[in-house]
Amino acid sequence: MIVTGGTKGIGFGIAEVFANAGDHVTIVGRDLDTAAEAASRLAEGGGTVGYVVADVSRPDGCVRMAEEVLAAHGAIDVLCANAGMFAMKRLSAMTEADYDETFDLNMKGCMFSVQACLPALAASEHGRVVVTSSITGPITGVPGWTHYGASKAAQLGFVRAAAMELAPQGITVNAILPGTILSEGLLELGMNLDKAAAGIPLKRLGDPRDIGHAAYFFASDEASYITGQTLVIDGGVTLIE
């Protein structure tokens, strides 16, 4: 199985859950040293973990990713299209470059990662696609994240259409909508973590592995009759009026 953006944050948590369950995991990232170090850490848990260095915001990077995994392992049965970014920029200061950077990774990277893996997913007879979206965009709005929220909402349109298109091949396509998850990206925002946790009904931030467990379910045989669906994992924050 493949986890794009699996070298840190939510992607690392997803990879950790699959690796600890004994699955063969390939994580994908842009930086060689970061990818190698992350794979080494994941392997300490007993899993079989490899890595590919590729820029999935480019279709040719997605193709190379799929080709390298197939050359090494001969199959792809699960793709967790997780790679993403959430740089903050107010609408009044938004540039075309800001928009393009966000959509290239969040939306284009999701779509073309799936496209590149399609033949292998169909051949596996257990094809599973799990997309990491967000509550921001599909459900909530946050000032400064108009481009991010739009890209995450767009992912859900892709998930529903792709689920219909790929169902005849036995491939399921589902999405996870995380809330506030404690990750490197969150820390880089300089957010007051105690204040953020206090505003969540469960009174804690999410762990990346919380998202990993959901992805593992969507990839399981037990979820074989679920496609085109979304699962919110946010500690209850979207319940607040």
Q: Which residue has the tokens 């690796």?
A: 19
Q: Which residue has the tokens 């939306």?
A: 107
pTM for the predicted model, two decimal places: 0.95
> What mean pLDDT do residues 41-67 have?
94
Please give the positions annotated as active site: 148
Contact 154, 108 (CB under 8 A): no
Which is it for the CA torsion 151, 12, 120, 58, positive or negative?
positive
User: Does the pLDDT of residue 140 top 80, yes or no?
Assistant: yes
Which among 81, 39, 105 is positioned nearest to 171, based on CA atoms? 81
pLDDT 10s digits, 180-215: 999 877 777 777 889 989 999 999 999 999 999 999
| Packed helices 9-20 and 32-43: angle between N→C axes, nearest 10 degrees | 30
Kindly state the helix (H) or strand (E) to which residue 115 belongs, with its residue range. helix 109-124
Q: In whole angstroms, give the CA distance from residue 103 to residue 73.
A: 30
Q: In whole angstroms, give the CA distance from residue 222 to residue 226.
A: 9
DSSP state of 108: I
**pLDDT tier at 47 (50, 70, 90 boundaries)?**
confident
